[in-house]
Amino acid sequence: MRTESRTIYIIGAGIAGLTLALALAKFGATVVVLERAPGIHEEGAGLQISANARKILDHLGLSDALNTFAFEPAALDIVPFEAKKPLVSLMLGETIRERFGAPYTVMHRADLAGALYKACRRFANIDIQFGVEQVDVELHTRGASILFQDAAKQNINARPFAVIGADGVHSQIRREVMDGPDARYSGMVAWRTMVDIDPLSDLFSTTNSTLLWGPGFHAVLYPIFAHGKFNVALFTKIKKTQIDRGTVLQNPSLPRGLMRSPHFKAILENAAMGWTYWPLYGVSTNVWHRGPVGLIGDAAHGMVPFQAQGAVMGIEDAAVLASLLMSKPTALEALTEYAALRRPRVRKVQQISAWNGEIYHMSWPLTMGRDLVVWFQGPKAHLKRLAWIYGYDALHAPGRAEANPA
């Protein structure tokens, strides 16, 4: 493994970019993160972090921080539309820990971003610059150069070992530097809010997460005790024209009959904080790098969040790419191997996420067959069915180098 310092620029300080910065810094790289926003900002609220990503975060030294704000649900209650009780409660908690070697937790995304940022600040070899509005990356035959204006409006020109676009689903690096595709609108939006726990505690478990199915829509709810609230994400269909014209109303455009469900009704009646909506986009591209410029996280593979794996895949990307960037002789070799390792796995996760949407949103009479199968499979079937996701160990992926002591 090479040990001399390599300078790597990361565009975007989201979950993926910050995880990569931390992982690289632990290997001894010099890391510069350029973020457009004026500070760490995470829109929305809840985030589920499954065992495969939690292992990586623990390895990066975040275990104590996560233990202070993350909650570990004992199970996932699945409640079909209009049902009063869960059809099945899929085991999480201790069962996941034992089987996959790390917990499955839920948290406020701002807490995770804050913990990653705080951890990055401890490394003198990480420089995070905020308020960088314009970044130009140019590819040459033998590398890439980067030109940007820092927050003090000074022009900076650099020729790093690699530039990594962690700039989200609408990635400028993907579209402009790699001539990659625009993100595609999925037809659905996520409505997000947080709701007081007390008024809902008769209907919803405070030890479990809840997945509510409906015809053409669904919702996910779980307690985030560090914020004293239930996190709610409600997913509904909305036409692209409405989004483009900015004519989406302030509240979830309610699908017909939604209030027939006691669970949806209770959520809507108690959403005192109001809702924010988030159009869901996906990215499908085989081009994850050009020369020494690569992509991670949503920039490479944005997906609908119906398997709760978008951020998790970004964290895995970071773990795999950091070791390759520090152990391969050139960035091109590192990125080529990274893409070959990651693309098939991530594509499979994208597919299962989209397929979950079909299952969650079924209408009667298809729901009868679906509910029977899910009930018959029982509370443990997911442990086997999803073992390829939760049991994956990115820390021991091929090509991984030994980390320098931090």
Ligand X SMILES: Cc1cc2nc3c(=O)[nH]c(=O)nc-3n(C[C@H](O)[C@H](O)[C@H](O)COP(=O)(O)OP(=O)(O)OC[C@H]3O[C@@H](n4cnc5c(N)ncnc54)[C@H](O)[C@@H]3O)c2cc1C
Q: Which residues are near ligand X by CB under 6 A? A: 11-17, 34-37, 44, 47-48, 132, 135, 166-168, 172, 190, 192, 233, 278, 280, 297-298, 305, 308-312, 314
Residue 186 or residue 367: which is nearer to ligand X going by CB? 186
- 73: its two tokens: 């649900």
In angstroms, give the least distance from the CB of 19 to ligand X.
Answer: 8
Question: Looking at beta carbons only, is 316 or 371 nearer to ligand X?
Answer: 316
Collapsing DSSP to helix, strand or coil, 120 comes out as helix
As measured in angstroms, the least distance from the Cβ of 370 to ligand X is 22
**Counting Cβ atoms within 10 Å, is residue 301 exposed (0-12), middle (13-18) or buried (19+)?**
buried
Shortest Å, Cβ 27 to ligand X: 20
The total of other beta-carbon atoms located within 10 Å of residue 285's CB is 18
Minimal CA–CA distance to 183: which of 165, 164, 174, 170?
Answer: 170
d(CA 21, CA 366): 46
**Rounded Cα distance, 135 and 158, in Å:** 11
Q: Which amino acid is at 373?
A: V
Residue with token string 């890391």: 31
- Least separation in angstroms between residue 107's CB and ligand X is 9
CB of residue 389 vs ligand X: minimum separation in angstroms?
A: 11
- Best CA proximity match to 219, nearest among 274, 272, 265, 169: 265
Q: Which is nearer to ligand X, 94 or 176 (CB)?
A: 176
Whether the CB-CB separation of 60 and 23 falls below 8 Å is answered with yes
Beta partners for 133?
none
Closest contact distance (angstroms) between CB of 1 and ligand X is 27
Nearer to ligand X, 28 or 183 (CB): 183
Q: Which amino acid is at 344?
A: P
